[in-house]
Amino acid sequence: IMLHSPLALSLLLIAVSSNLAMAIKKEKRAPQTLSRGWGDEIIWVQTYEQGLYEAKKSNKPLMVIHHLEDCQYCQALKKAFAENEEIQEMAQNNFVMLNLMHETTDKNLSPDGQYVPRIMFVDPSLTVRADITGRYSNRLYTYEPQDIPFLIENMKKALRLIQTEL
């Protein structure tokens, strides 16, 4: 038994210290429960109110994504969104980002109904951009995975409109 115990003790210490190191690493990085799969490198705000505050403070547009876990269209869009490098980079650097799995009380965010997925932009002046729409006349703010290039254009448009109007 004496032979095994220094070995067992050192193995135990190694196991404990590597678990500790992993726990410390995890703490350093912001918990990414808010990304919900839309992009773990993006800093997400928790609420619409927080989003408005951050948009005004940072002079960046707020991008609001309405979605539901059990919606196949949301899941498909989320995958395309998360895999697109250009979107992820713009979202990280130029936007205040919020994804919501519930409706807000702000009726301006559902001008043509409460469907999902729905992506809307809000100016730092706190104006909902009803003029930045997707490709479908029956659901103005919806996007499908194949509409990613169109969404990128709309993100650029949201950024351009701030610069020209403020």
pLDDT in tens, 119-145: 999 999 999 999 999 999 999 999 999
Question: CATH homologous superfamily for 48-159?
Answer: Glutaredoxin (3.40.30.10)
Residues 6+ apart with CB under 8 A from 27: none
Confidence (pLDDT) at 105: 85
Please state, in angstroms and rounded to a whole number, the distance separating the CA atoms of residues 74 and 79.
Answer: 9
pTM of the predicted protein model: 0.79
* pLDDT per position as a tens digit, 99-113: 999 888 889 999 999
Residue type, 59: N
Structure tokens at 71: 């919606």
